[in-house]
């Protein structure tokens, strides 16, 4: 794991709460200029990881290193519910936090525009919708141009258009060089935003790498009229360099020989030559939801 330019590094970190181990032996270094999706089941350790990075909890063992740790502007986070002063205006909330980070009026205008809350800055926070409160909290998190931005469930309470804008915002922040870590149960939204993915399962990091590698490449599903024909075709395909595996009543072809259409044509030709009728020959596009379910059911390897 290369860590020389990573703004935050976890080195063999374990966190216990009494007899419960929330995070175990985690080594992790999210990259700058990238959006990292942090995913896992409820109770897997996602929020604990974020709390360790922010210093809200200390590790039981191991070390957490944050770049420019003495600079309060280096790291910014929105964890769980937005912490706002409901009786004050959105602008006043921003000013209070700007004072803490050393940001000025120009920065308040900048983050207000980025988070699309500039039209409600003078309204009391308690009068805003939950979606707008979420966006005000994100605007606060952007004050001071942090090198590390942690967003825990940022799409909750947002409508589809607000989610689209948030994705653009997250991309913008990463493109400016920040390491952006997004934890969310909205897996499909992460699929369109993240560069890399970290899966934590039962307190351990089970996968940390490119998003596309976790989801996997496209594949083909083949069905014949009879189960015995499935087995015959499976053998014939293997002999022609197209390995597959039985998947219930179908054959699943994971290793495509170059172009998927050419592989499909070879499958069709092989079946036709053997007198085997196909009832299905379809492309299967992998999804994050399917890969996530497989990894958390069977257990992905670190």
Q: Identify which of 75, 33, 72, 37 has the alpha carbon closest to the alpha carbon of residue 53.
A: 75
User: For 77-81, what is the mean pLDDT?
Assistant: 80
Q: Beta strands 35-39 and 179-183: pairing type?
A: parallel
**For residues 1 and 159, is the Cβ–Cβ distance under 8 A?**
no
pLDDT reported for residue 73: 62
User: How do residues 126-182 score in pLDDT, each as one tens digit?
Assistant: 999 988 898 899 999 999 888 899 998 888 777 888 888 888 889 999 999 999 999
Joined together, the tokens standing for residue 296 give 């958390």
pLDDT reported for residue 68: 67
Name, in order, each residue with C-beta under 8 angstroms of 299's C-beta and a sequence gap of 6 or more: 201, 206
Please identify which residue in the block is written with the tokens 């909290």.
137
DSSP secondary structure code for residue 299 in this structure: I
Joined together, the tokens standing for residue 207 give 């996968």
User: How do residues 182-233 score in pLDDT, each as one tens digit?
Assistant: 998 777 778 778 999 999 999 999 999 998 888 888 889 999 988 889 999 9
Sketch out the chain's domains with CATH numbers: 8-214 (3.40.50.300), 217-285 (3.30.70.270)
Q: Identify which of 252, 253, 249 has the alpha carbon closest to the alpha carbon of residue 228.
A: 249
Sheet holding 61-66, edge to edge: 20-28, 8-17, 61-66
Q: Identify which of 134, 169, 152 has the alpha carbon closest to the alpha carbon of residue 76.
A: 152
pTM: 0.79
pLDDT at residue 300 tops 60: no
pLDDT at residue 302 tops 80: no
Give the three-class secondary structure for 208: strand
Q: Identify which of 27, 2, 3 has the alpha carbon closest to the alpha carbon of residue 13.
A: 27
Report how far residue 113's alpha carbon sits from residue 115's, in angstroms, rounded to the nearest whole number.
6
Backbone angles phi, psi at 63, to 5 degrees: -140, 140
User: How do residues 170-191 score in pLDDT, each as one tens digit?
Assistant: 999 999 999 999 998 777 778 7
pLDDT reported for residue 57: 95
User: How do residues 281-298 score in pLDDT, each as one tens digit?
Assistant: 998 888 888 888 888 886
Backbone angles phi, psi at 210, to 5 degrees: -60, 145
Q: Assign 1 a pLDDT band (cuts: 50, 70, 90).
A: low
Q: Identify which of 78, 75, 80 has the alpha carbon closest to the alpha carbon of residue 32.
A: 75
pLDDT reported for residue 257: 67
pLDDT at residue 238 tops 50: yes
Q: Assign 71 a pLDDT band (cuts: 50, 70, 90).
A: low
In our burial notation (b when 16+ CB lie closer than 10 A, e otherwise), range 115-138 reads bbbbebbeeebeebeebbbbbbbb
Joined together, the tokens standing for residue 283 give 């492309």
Please identify which residue in the block is written with the tokens 């994050």.
288
**Percent of the chain's residues with pLDDT above 70:** 94
User: How do residues 15-47 score in pLDDT, each as one tens digit?
Assistant: 999 999 999 999 999 999 999 999 999 889 999
**For residues 154 and 78, is the Cβ–Cβ distance under 8 A?**
yes
Report how far residue 195's alpha carbon sits from residue 211's, in angstroms, rounded to the nearest whole number.
6
Report how far residue 138's alpha carbon sits from residue 159's, in angstroms, rounded to the nearest whole number.
15
- The H or E element containing residue 46 is helix 46-54
pLDDT at residue 3 tops 60: no
């Amino acid at each position: 794991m290369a860590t020389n330019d990573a703004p935050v590094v976890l080195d063999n970190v374990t966190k216990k709460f009494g007899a419960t181990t929330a995070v175990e032996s985690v080594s992790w270094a999210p990259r700058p200029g990238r959006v990292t999706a942090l995913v896992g089941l409820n109770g897997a350790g996602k929020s604990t990881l974020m709390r360790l990075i922010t210093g809200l909890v200390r590790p039981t063992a191991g070390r957490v290193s944050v770049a420019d740790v003495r600079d309060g502007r280096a790291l910014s986070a929105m964890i769980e519910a937005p912490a706002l002063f409901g009786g004050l205006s959105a602008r006043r909330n921003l000013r209070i936090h700007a004072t803490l980070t050393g940001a000025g009026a120009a920065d308040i205008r900048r983050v207000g525009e980025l988070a699309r809350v500039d039209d409600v800055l003078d309204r009391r926070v308690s009068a805003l919708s939950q979606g707008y409160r979420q966006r005000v909290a994100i605007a606060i998190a952007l004050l001071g141009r942090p090198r590390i931005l942690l967003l825990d469930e940022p799409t909750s309470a947002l409508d589809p258009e607000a989610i689209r804008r948030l994705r653009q915002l997250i991309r913008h922040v990463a493109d400016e060089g920040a390491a952006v870590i997004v934890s969310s149960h909205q897996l499909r939204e992460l699929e369109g935003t993240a560069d890399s993915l970290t899966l934590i399962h039962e307190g351990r990091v089970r996968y940390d790498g490119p998003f596309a590698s976790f989801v996997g490449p496209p594949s083909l599903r083949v069905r014949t009229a009879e189960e015995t024909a499935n087995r015959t075709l499976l053998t014939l395909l293997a002999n022609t360099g197209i390995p597959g595996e039985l998947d219930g009543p179908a054959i699943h072809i994971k290793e495509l020989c170059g172009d998927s259409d050419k592989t499909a044509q070879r499958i069709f030709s092989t079946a036709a030559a053997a007198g085997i009728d196909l009832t299905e020959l379809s492309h299967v596009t992998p999804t994050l939801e399917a890969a996530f379910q497989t990894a958390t059911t069977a257990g992905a390897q670190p």
